[in-house]
Amino acid sequence: NAGVTQTPKFQVLKTGQSMTLQCAQDMNHNSMYWYRQDPGMGLRLIYYSASEGTTDKGEVPNGYNVSRLNKREFSLRLESAAPSQTSVYFCATTGQINSPLHFGNGTRLTVT
Amino acid sequence: EDKVVQSPLSLVVHEGDTVTLNCSYEVTNFRSLLWYKQEKKAPTFLFMLTSSGIEKKSGRLSSILDKKELSSILNITATQTGDSAIYLCAVEGRGDYKLSFGAGTTVTVRA
């Protein structure tokens, strides 16, 4: 039972390049989230999907887009990467409101 | 906008010491407060608190919520080097599908 799987684990991009971070869960959870984590700033919500077919902006959505492909998969796209997007990105899921989040192991992204 | 403030930002203790971590919050229609521990990779869930004054315990870790003071504390007794981690506090509002996290407290336990 894999839980929440993120790919890739590491990525280096040049400014202006694009890429998609993938997240897949086998927990049959409805809600999925993308967070970024920067030193001294905790986890900040980028986008979330409360259920299949819906997506909403979080605290820091600028420069990102998301797709909830189906119940299992929620991808995060950077269309034109910037050095300010250098961060560790976490995908998380939960089965219902008031339940703990389950996190993937993160993607460490560096934009040069 | 929801706000979560953790203190201290970091601390260093020796094995056997007791540590107390603080979390204060401002959230519209509070539903729950959660504590997570983060070592190398993904945060792992420790506690969820919804009611004031009821302590939750797991081994040497315990936590309590004070809704009047809009705060929570996380205690770790008889610390071990394996307790070295970032401890994250998060809050959720009613009707809200998202958690707001604090910046975290980095705990370093020296042998």
Q: Are A29 and A97 in contact (CB under 8 A)?
A: no
- Chain A CA closest to residue B92: A98
Instruction: Identify which of A40, A45, A104 has the shortest CB distance to residue B42.
Output: A104
Q: What is the pLDDT of residues B93-102, one digit of tens each?
A: 876 677 899 9
pLDDT (0 to 100) of residue B98 = 79
Give the best residue of A57, A66, A89, A103 to mutate against chain B (max B CB count within 10 A).
A103
Specify the higher pLDDT residue, B28 or A21. A21
pLDDT score, position A87 = 97
Q: What is the mean pLDDT of residues A26-48?
A: 92
pLDDT at res. B95:
67
Contact residues of A toward B, CB < 8 A? 4, 31, 33, 35, 40-45, 48, 50, 56, 58-59, 90, 97-98, 100-106
When pLDDT is cut at 50, 70 and 90, the band that residue A29 belongs to is very high
Q: Tell me: the pLDDT tens digits for A66-101?
A: 999 899 999 999 999 999 999 999 999 998 766 889
CA distance B108 to B19: 10
pLDDT value for A73: 97
pLDDT at residue A1 is higher than 70? no
pLDDT tens digits along A50-64? 888 899 999 899 999
Quick check: B92 and A98 CB within 8 A? yes
Q: How buried is B81 (Cβ within 10 angstroms: 0-12 exposed, 13-18 middle, 19+ buried)?
A: exposed
β-pair type (A56-57, A4-7): unpaired
- Which residue of chain B comes nearest to A4, CA vs CA? B42
Q: What is the pLDDT of residue B53?
A: 86
Report d(CA A102, CA B36) in Å as an integer. 10
Arithmetic mean of pLDDT over chain B: 93
What value does the mean pLDDT of chain A take? 93
Nearest CA among A52, A31, A2 for reference residue A100? A31
Chain A touched by B48 (CB under 8 Å):
yes
pLDDT digits (tens, 9 = 90+) for A2-11: 799 999 999 9
Judge: A40–B101 Cβ closer than 8 Å, yes or no.
no
Nearest to A94 by CA among B70, B96, B78, B104: B96
pLDDT, mean of residues B58-71: 95
Q: B42–A105: do the CB atoms touch at under 8 Å?
A: yes
Task: Give the nearest chain A residue to B47 (CA atoms).
Answer: A100
